[in-house]
């Protein structure tokens, strides 16, 4: 036996063995409760970083724990493999996107294997393979048939570097592309959309069904959906037979409208503009077109606008108001027009002040009527109506309903609910994505590619220039096809789908990942879903999670699954931060390898460096390579550190000293178990006790069932001494469960009762105090670790508990006892999900036959926590004179007796007259003397 802990060779050995034994395969039976543990799948960039390691370690611990707790577990992994980087690699280096992507996948898969993740690789999916995107296309056609996929001309975000359209969500707060960083422009194009707005209300309401999600994520989703309740009102245009429709949440302020604003892109803009204003309006439209949506609506930016010269009529009071256009009104949002009520809206107030538009108060606070005063800011609260015709004097909250009623009666408008959420733009003018399976026929319009012709494969001989339209649009042979419906020469759609579509359904494919006949078997998916625990980054709080929820609801409505929400519980893990050195003078980041941490200076300029923790990234030279850490300390230490250093949802600061600390802890566990095993020769013991036990049981006439049950529940450690309390507990539990089972035959029951009395007769031996102390430490650890993991996965405190237990075992004075063996075994079992390789190796060294990973999670015995003795304080006239140890359950009388007899009392009471004795059970005895 190797006496030194050698993580790398142990890890390689077990990874190989587990793979040969298919240990991570998903069970196919369904007589156990299911648990679906899912990590957000990675983009195959080629290299695993610490963020990945953290994400997948968390999920792996959960998966391994749940297996030990008796669940059948699905723990799959795949690749979010379409997207721009592969295409950029093709442009930069001439490598075909498919080749680049598959190479990266192979590399990352090997890295994941080395971390010892219990992933069922038979379930692997890669979204870029025809076997997968065939079904992405099929799902697109489901949306198309349901009227949820449609085309429209739209002002889109145009990335001038990548030459492609971006979704709003892919543009950052400064109006730049999320990938290229280019300043995004606006451009009109015909695009495919998914009608997510049809599901806005459900997506909002069903957030209530997700108590297992972080509150923060649910709030972000609710804000993104942005429900507002109000009214749609129409303002007739002077001199035209047309009306401007606006949405307002404050119809109670309609008498205060002093202008109406159209989005510059609104089709009515051109029609209402007077000849005098034409040049001004056209110039303004050009200026606004260069701005991104985020710039236009930024709260801290002054709003700009110009009058069109046109006028509209407020139908409530028949007053004419000017029509303006302004940058802050977006055509894609709401009706593309708003009513301006400067007295009661902050933005309108600023706009009116800036352009000298009238400000008319129509609501005042209850205690004031001085509505003629010059206002210094908008009054946005509710109050009493003034200057509002028939509604004067009413409460505004009440008038709001009456005004909507009036609008409906008179045909001015109606009550309406509006959402901030807009339809999802899914077209991409790119090659490396799933082609949209539509053929455009001059006679029939947009015709779906028949199911039998799916997948529409990506052609392979493609030139990547990085300029102009999608590479697909240049392939004549691929584009020109007959219409599947009428045979007329037609053209393929050349847009591919947003990669967010690929990731909106991958979790539905895993349970049935290799199905070639269907997108998935509904029965299998209904069995495994919803995902019990989803783990991933907070950056996906809105889009990926919202889209996945949307897909689930649509597929449910198509009869493909029977649940409303895909992810029962969500854990958003924090970032992994590295120590970062920055030169404050040059603004440059300095690699930590070049810096003396004692005295951080720029090696080139000598400037003193700023030192702080920040998310690991290549550009900041602060990353730690997981492979290097694994080579030095092993995967188990890397896992332990990541779990120990911070609660999973908090950011984690990489610290080499703490990595070493965890390495030392695993070494300590290694020596504890190997030393014990050397002294106790486990394998011999096991062979011997196995025989004795089984023979014993047979002598008692026990059934083969019972013998199997018992030996299954007794491991090598326990076999050392079956006649002690501890081993009995597990066997008793098994027998009692069988006794209570309704289908158990009377004959078997008699047998079981016989077994129980046998156990009770033989297992009653008293433990020594040292044994009781160890047993208390062991069962406290089981209780604490289980609670830490069953609640919110507080891995860090769970590791602390295990460290405490290892200390208690180190210090134990009963190292030849079965109770000590129980302690070691329990420590290994608790540690198993965290350090899977080390524990497996030690489990075998201890003489066990099966894998530690198939052993049940330890159960805690409340009786083990009971304390036998307590410390009693002895007082004389209220002053503490000493303490004695007494039985915890002793009554008042006994306590007084023990106190009187104690040395402390004898010494202090000699020759004194005891007037009164005060006994406080559990605490003290006070002698009042004269």
Q: Which residues bind Zn ion (CB under 5 A)?
A: 441, 443-444, 483, 485-486, 488
Please identify which residue in the block is written with the tokens 């894998």. Answer: 851
Task: List the 413-419 sheet strands across, edge first.
Answer: 243-248, 227-236, 413-419
Nearer to Zn ion (CB atom), residue 440 or residue 804: 440
Question: How near is the Cβ of 469 to Zn ion at its closest, in Å?
Answer: 24
Nearer to Zn ion (CB atom), residue 489 or residue 597: 489
Question: How near is the Cβ of 148 to Zn ion at its closest, in Å?
Answer: 22
Q: Which residues of 679-710 are buried (b: 16+ CB within 10 A; e: fewer)?
A: ebebeebbeebeeebeebbeeeebeeebbebb
335: helix, strand or coil: coil
Handedness of CA 901, 902, 903, 909 (dihedral sign): negative
Nearer to Zn ion (CB atom), residue 473 or residue 481: 481
Q: Please tell me whether the peptide bond between 144 and the residue prior to it is cis, using omega within 30 degrees of 0.
A: no
Question: How near is the Cβ of 454 to Zn ion at its closest, in Å?
Answer: 18
Please give the Cα distance from 844 to 846 (Å, whole number): 5
Nearer to Zn ion (CB atom), residue 283 or residue 488: 488
Count the Cβ atoms, other than its own, within 10 Å of residue 664: 10
Nearer to Zn ion (CB atom), residue 452 or residue 593: 452
Q: Which of 583, 579, 730 is nearest to 656 (CA)?
A: 579
518: helix, strand or coil: coil
Count the Cβ atoms, other than its own, within 10 Å of residue 807: 13
Nearer to Zn ion (CB atom), residue 358 or residue 484: 484
Question: How near is the Cβ of 479 to Zn ion at its closest, in Å?
Answer: 16
Q: Which residues of 70-99 are buried (b: 16+ CB within 10 A; e: fewer)?
A: ebbbbbbbbbbbbbbbbbbbbbeeeebbbe
The H or E element spanning position 673 is: helix 656-680
Question: How near is the Cβ of 470 to Zn ion at its closest, in Å?
Answer: 23
Question: How near is the Cβ of 460 to Zn ion at its closest, in Å?
Answer: 28
Is residue 495 exposed (0-12), middle (13-18) or buried (19+ Cβ within 10 Å)? buried
Question: How near is the Cβ of 442 to Zn ion at its closest, in Å?
Answer: 7
Question: How near is the Cβ of 493 to Zn ion at its closest, in Å?
Answer: 14
Question: How near is the Cβ of 450 to Zn ion at its closest, in Å?
Answer: 13
Question: How near is the Cβ of 456 to Zn ion at its closest, in Å?
Answer: 17
Please identify which residue in the block is written with the tokens 């790398």. Answer: 8
Nearer to Zn ion (CB atom), residue 439 or residue 630: 439
Question: How near is the Cβ of 481 to Zn ion at its closest, in Å?
Answer: 11
Handedness of CA 294, 296, 297, 300 (dihedral sign): positive
Nearer to Zn ion (CB atom), residue 443 or residue 608: 443
Nearer to Zn ion (CB atom), residue 436 or residue 642: 436
Cα 159-162-164 angle, rounded to 5 deg: 60
Nearer to Zn ion (CB atom), residue 444 or residue 475: 444
Please give the Cα distance from 318 to 242 (Å, whole number): 16
- Kindly list the distances between the CA atom of residue 126 and the CA atoms of 76, 519, 529, 847, in Å, as whole numbers in the listed order: 12, 14, 20, 41
Q: How far apart are the first and last CA of the chain?
A: 71
* CA 530 to centroid of chain Cα atoms: 14
Nearer to Zn ion (CB atom), residue 485 or residue 690: 485
């Amino acid at each position: 036996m190797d006496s030194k802990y050698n993580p790398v060779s142990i890890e390689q050995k077990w990874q190989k063995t587990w793979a040969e034994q298919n240990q991570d395969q998903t069970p196919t039976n369904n007589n156990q409760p299911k648990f679906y543990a899912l990590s957000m799948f990675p983009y195959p960039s080629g290299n695993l970083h610490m963020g990945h390691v953290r994400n997948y370690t968390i999920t792996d611990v959960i998966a391994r724990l749940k297996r030990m707790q008796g669940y059948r577990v699905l723990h799959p992994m795949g690749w979010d493999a379409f997207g721009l980087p592969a295409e950029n690699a093709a442009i930069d280096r001439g490598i075909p996107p498919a080749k680049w992507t598959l190479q990266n996948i192979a590399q990352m898969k090997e890295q994941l294997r080395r971390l010892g993740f219990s992933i069922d690789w038979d379930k692997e999916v890669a979204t870029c393979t025809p076997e997968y995107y065939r079904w992405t296309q099929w799902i697109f056609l489901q949306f198309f048939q349901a009227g949820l996929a449609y085309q429209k001309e739209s002002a889109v975000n145009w990335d001038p570097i990548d030459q492609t359209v971006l979704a709003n969500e892919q543009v950052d707060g400064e109006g730049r592309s999320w990938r290229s960083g280019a300043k995004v422009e606006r451009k009109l194009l015909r695009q495919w959309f998914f009608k997510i707005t049809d599901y806005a209300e459900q997506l909002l309401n069903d957030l209530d069904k997700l108590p297992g999600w972080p509150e923060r994520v649910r709030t972000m989703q609710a804000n993104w959906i942005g429900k507002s309740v109000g009214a749609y009102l129409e303002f007739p245009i002077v001199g035209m037979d047309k009306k401007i429709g606006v949405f307002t949440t404050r119809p109670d302020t309609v008498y205060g409208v002093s202008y109406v604003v159209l989005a510059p892109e609104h089709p009515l803009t051109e029609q209402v503009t007077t000849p005098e204003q034409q040049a001004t309006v056209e110039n303004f439209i050009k200026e606004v077109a260069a701005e991104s949506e985020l710039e236009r609506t930024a709260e801290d930016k002054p709003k700009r606008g110009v009058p069109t010269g046109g006028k509209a009529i407020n139908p409530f009071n028949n007053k004419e108001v000017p029509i303006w256009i302004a940058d802050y009104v977006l055509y894609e949002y709401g009706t593309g027009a708003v009513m301006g009520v400067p007295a009661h809206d902050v933005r309108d107030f600023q706009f009116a002040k800036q352009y000298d538009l009238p400000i008319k108060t129509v609501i005042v606070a209850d205690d004031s009527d001085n509505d003629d005063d010059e206002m210094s800011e908008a009054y946005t609260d509710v109050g009493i109506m003034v200057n509002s015709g028939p509604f004067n004097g009413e409460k505004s909250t009440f008038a709001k309903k009456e005004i909507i009623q009036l609008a409906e009666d008179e045909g001015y408008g109606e009550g309406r609910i509006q959402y901030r959420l807009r339809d999802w733009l899914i077209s991409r003018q790119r090659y490396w994505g799933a082609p949209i399976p539509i053929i455009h026929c001059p006679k029939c319009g947009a015709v779906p590619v028949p199911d039998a012709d799916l997948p529409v494969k990506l052609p392979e001989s493609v030139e990547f220039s990085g300029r102009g339209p999608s590479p697909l649009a240049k392939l004549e042979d691929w584009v020109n096809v007959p219409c599947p419906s009428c045979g007329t020469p037609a053209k393929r759609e050349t847009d591919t789908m947003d990669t967010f579509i690929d990731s909106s359904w991958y979790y539905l494919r895993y349970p049935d990942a290799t199905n070639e006949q269907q997108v998935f078997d509904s029965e299998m998916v209904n069995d495994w879903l919803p995902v019990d625990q989803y783990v991933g980054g907070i950056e996906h709080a809105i889009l990926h999670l919202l889209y996945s929820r949307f897909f689930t609801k649509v597929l449910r409505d198509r009869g493909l699954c029977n649940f409303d929400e895909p992810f029962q519980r969500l854990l958003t893990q924090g970032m992994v931060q590295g120590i970062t050195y920055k030169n404050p003078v040059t603004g440059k980041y300095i690699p930590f390898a070049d810096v003396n941490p004692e005295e951080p200076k720029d090696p080139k300029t000598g400037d003193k460096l700023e030192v702080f923790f920040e998310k690991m990234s290549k550009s900041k030279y602060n990353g730690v390579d997981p492979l290097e850490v694994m080579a030095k300390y092993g995967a188990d230490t890397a896992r332990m550190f990541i779990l120990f250093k911070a609660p999973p949802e908090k950011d984690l600061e990489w610290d080499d000293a703490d990595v070493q600390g965890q390495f030392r802890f695993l070494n300590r566990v290694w020596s504890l178990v190997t030393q014990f095993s050397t002294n106790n020769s486990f394998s011999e013991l096991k062979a011997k006790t196995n025989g004795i036990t089984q023979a014993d049981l047979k002598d008692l006439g026990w059934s083969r069932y019972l013998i199997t049950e018992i030996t299954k529940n007794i491991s090598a450690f326990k076999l050392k001494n079956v006649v002690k309390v501890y081993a009995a507990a597990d066997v008793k539990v098994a027998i009692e469960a069988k006794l209570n089972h309704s289908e158990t035959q009377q004959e078997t029951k008699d047998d079981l009762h016989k077994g129980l009395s046998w156990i009770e007769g033989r297992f009653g031996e008293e433990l020594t105090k040292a044994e009781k102390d160890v047993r208390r430490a062991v069962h406290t650890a089981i209780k604490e670790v289980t609670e830490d993991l069953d609640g919110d996965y507080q891995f860090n405190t769970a590791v602390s508990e295990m460290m405490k237990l290892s200390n208690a075992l180190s210090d134990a004075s009963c190292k030849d006892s079965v109770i000590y063996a129980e302690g070691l075994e329990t420590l290994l079992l608790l540690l198993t999900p965290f350090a899977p390789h080390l524990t497996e190796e030690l489990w075998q060294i201890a003489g066990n036959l099966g894998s530690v990973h198939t052993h049940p999670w330890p159960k805690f015995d409340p009786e083990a926590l009971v304390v036998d003795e307590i410390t009693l304080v002895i007082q004389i006239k209220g002053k503490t004179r000493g303490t004695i140890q007494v039985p915890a359950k002793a009554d008042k009388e006994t306590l007084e007796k023990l106190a009187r007899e104690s040395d402390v009392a004898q010494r202090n009471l000699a020759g004194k007259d005891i007037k009164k004795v005060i006994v406080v059970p559990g605490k003290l005895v006070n002698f009042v003397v004269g």
